[in-house]
Chain A
């Protein structure tokens, strides 16, 4: 466990940002001026001024599909001390969830983020439950202070890819 450094890129875990299928990314209850892109996309998430904010209440439901099957090792969620997320539930391979059915089935993993996590310490998930993940749903249930607005500065997912065929690398066999 001590191998895990603060930046937590251990062994061959990679940032799964490259495998996110941006056309299907969705976030329910986000404030339109502070959207998911601010927390997820390269460049945006490094910017301290940009963050993801919730709208009607403090809960957020983030749906992230991937372009290929991945294994999720850990995730990192940065946010402000009081308005940052606290209880986070992860669902693997559940499409199009709504706030009404988050409690219908048990999450693949759930996390209660501490202040350390919010500063940048990644949270390691139950690896066995995330062996073949096509899509990930992140449900942020409440925040640290219990207020009406949850703010997330940065979301990073770490993991590896399963050996799947890279369709772009396939070359057509020449006909005789």
Chain B
């Protein structure tokens, strides 16, 4: 986000007619210029960019540094190719244009597109470079097109004369299938001294490459809300799964303990209701046969794997209850911790329990359980009361829990 005034020096000499960069060197250059202007103005709205041509009849300033992108793009139209590039004069005129910039707080930068051979010798270029350094002007050089002997050397010498603290860069672009602009996107000329790439550059790179490097395939820059929502739901799902895994592990531990019915963390949000059900469940428990025990344990194990299935939830709730106070207390603790995640399952379960006919039908399906048994009836009644109490409490919970 550096505040910068940039002058772009375009090479519009005869050498630009060549087609080794698609479609012509000149067109590739124009595309690159458009991209750079966009990137600069986007990274900081107060940045200004100007354009001048180095060849033709002489060095000509097309537009003085301005932040108006439209003006810059418009002046790129109708440019004629011809003549020879005058590198030294071009840079000096650029420096002059920058000196008279309106906002003196802007850093000065010149970007040169050197496509044709460089006829000045190294000494002259070095002097120019030093003068730029003295006036704290940074210089970026794009070396493309003609591979004249010594051209690369001269440009490197120019760069080292200007360079302070790596603020100036040079990029050599050999002819090939890649467009000039694509190659430039990844260079520090675009990313601005390694600031980490403006959003523009990153998005452009993503579009060009077709691959987004961000999580969930959503660019946080482009759509922060969506990215955030995706991340949050991912974390919630993970937490839910962890809770389920924890419960399953807990179940396994309990079953090893003494073959007793493990406490279901679901039915113990209300500690009172939990203790109320306990003694009655206790009575009921004693009525069941050993076969029944084994079957019920199986059912519990299955239901633990899938606590969301309301059917098995109903089953589990009926048959389980803590028989040992220790287990109950521990389960209460666990459930209180797991409460936020369980509330959703509890809501469903509450509805299930509320439907008494459904509950009694389930009971009837259980072999060895007589719905007419007084202890069973008592249990049902207490559970009914519990579910009502639970419903009341669930109303206090945020409504979006219900929506899940």
Beta-carbon contacts of A69-95 to B below 8 Å, as 1s and 0s? 000000000000000000000000001
Interface residues of A: mostly helix, strand, loop or mixed?
A: loop
Whether the pair B135, A99 counts as a contact (CB closer than 8 A) is: yes
Interface assignment of A21: CB less than 8 Å from any CB of chain B: no
A98 to B132, CA, bound (A): 12
Given contacts A32-B164, A98-B99, A100-B99, contact A56 B104 (CB under 8 A): no
Q: Which residues of B contact A100 (CB under 8 A)?
A: 99
Whether the pair B104, A98 counts as a contact (CB closer than 8 A) is: no
Interface assignment of B392: CB less than 8 Å from any CB of chain A: no
Shortest Cβ distance from B136 into A: residue: A28
A106 to B399, CA, bound (A): 79
Measured between C-beta atoms, what is the minimum distance from A26 to chain B in Å? 9
Given contacts A32-B165, A96-B104, contact A55 B99 (CB under 8 A): no
A109 to B136, CA, bound (A): 26
Q: Which residues of A contact B341 (CB under 8 A)?
A: none
Interface assignment of A114: CB less than 8 Å from any CB of chain B: no
Q: Which residues of B contact A28 (CB under 8 A)?
A: 134-136
Interface size classification for chain A: 10 to 19
Q: Which residues of A contact B164 (CB under 8 A)?
A: 32, 55
Given contacts A32-B164, A32-B165, contact A55 B135 (CB under 8 A): no
Interface size classification for chain B: 10 to 19
Whether the pair B99, A59 counts as a contact (CB closer than 8 A) is: no
What is A's interface to B at a CB cutoff of 8 Å? 28-29, 32, 55-57, 59, 95-96, 98-100
Measured between C-beta atoms, what is the minimum distance from B133 to chain A in Å? 5
Interface assignment of B351: CB less than 8 Å from any CB of chain A: no
Interface residues of B in 78-112 (CB under 8 A from A): 99, 104
Shortest Cβ distance from A59 into B: residue: B134
Q: Which of B99, B130, B165 contacts A56 (CB 8 A)?
A: B130
Q: Which residues of B contact A29 (CB under 8 A)?
A: 133-136
Q: Which residues of A contact B135 (CB under 8 A)?
A: 28-29, 98-99
A95 to B105, CA, bound (A): 12
What is B's interface to A at a CB cutoff of 8 Å? 99, 104, 130-131, 133-136, 164-165
**Residue of A32, A56, A95, A98 with highest tally of chain B CB at under 10 A:** A56
* 12 cross-chain CB contacts under 8 A: A28-B136, A29-B134, A29-B135, A29-B136, A32-B165, A55-B133, A56-B130, A56-B134, A57-B130, A59-B134, A96-B104, A99-B134
Whether the pair A57, B134 counts as a contact (CB closer than 8 A) is: yes
A59 to B165, CA, bound (A): 20
A56 to B164, CA, bound (A): 10
Q: Which residues of B contact A99 (CB under 8 A)?
A: 134-135
A75 to B18, CA, bound (A): 61
Q: Which residues of A contact B165 (CB under 8 A)?
A: 32
Q: Which residues of B contact A96 (CB under 8 A)?
A: 104
Whether the pair B104, A55 counts as a contact (CB closer than 8 A) is: no
**Residue of B131, B133, B134 with highest tally of chain A CB at under 10 A:** B134
- Nearest 4 Cβ contacts at the A-B interface: A56-B134, A56-B130, A29-B134, A56-B133
A10 to B312, CA, bound (A): 97
Q: Which residues of A contact B134 (CB under 8 A)?
A: 28-29, 55-57, 59, 99
Q: Which residues of B contact A32 (CB under 8 A)?
A: 164-165
Measured between C-beta atoms, what is the minimum distance from A55 to chain B in Å? 7
A59 to B136, CA, bound (A): 13
Measured between C-beta atoms, what is the minimum distance from B105 to chain A in Å? 9
Measured between C-beta atoms, what is the minimum distance from B84 to chain A in Å? 27
